[in-house]
Each structure stands twice: as C-alpha cells, then as structure tokens.
Amino acid sequence: DQQVKQNSPSLSVQEGRISILNCDYTNSMFDYFLWYKKYPAEGPTFLISISSIKDKNEDGRFTVFLNKSAKHLSLHIVPSQPGDSAVYFCAARDNYGQNFVFGPGTRLSVLP
C-alpha cells in the first residue's frame, strides 16, 4: 500500500517550458513534504520542501504547491533546462514516527 504516489513514471518537456510533477499521498499524519532529484549513479539530492502549514514554497526556478484537502502536491520548474533531466522523488514525513516515505519517482526529460 503506497502512501506516497507519483502516477506519472515519466514526463518529457521542451526546454524553456514549464515542467509539472505531481504527487499524491494518503496519510493525513504527514506534516512535511520534500522533493529530491536523482541523477544516474548518484544519491538523491534535496531540492525543495514545504511544511503542511504552507501552501506554496518557491526557490528560484522551483516552486512546490501543497493542497492539503486534496492530499496533493506538485513541483513546478520554470523554465525547464536540459540539466533538469533526472528522476524526481516526492517524499513525506509523518509527524509521529519521523519516518520519511518516498514515492516511486518520475523521470523528467527536458528536450533541447
């Protein structure tokens, strides 16, 4: 039973356009959400996070939106660059056990 879902295994976007990666969760005890980026043969690296008390957090080209009522979050990358091509993992932390649960990932390809 996946608590964090990323229903799109892959996404292709043209360079300069917006990339939107989606994530859904089922556990209402999650209070902190993160996005990680992973290149081949490397470990995941932290990208951006959002607390459950906010609905938006922005850092340069990256913005994360949280819709608690829908248990949905999304990562927007504007403008997309070829170097953004990677696997993106959505993660959530529960406020009880402090465990981090990851989604299965979405592979983003930004085409030049």
Binding residues vs another protein (CB under 8 A): 6, 34, 36, 41-46, 49, 89, 91, 97-105
Query: Residue 15 or residue 100: which is nearer to another protein going by CB?
Result: 100
For residue 48, the cross-strand partners are: 35
Angle at 58 between CA 40 and CA 98, to 5 degrees: 65
Q: How far is the CB of 47 from another protein (least distance, A)?
A: 9
Q: How far is the CB of 14 from another protein (least distance, A)?
A: 26
CA distances from 98 to 11, 70, 101, 110 (A): 30, 22, 10, 34
Query: Residue 40 or residue 112: which is nearer to another protein going by CB?
Result: 40
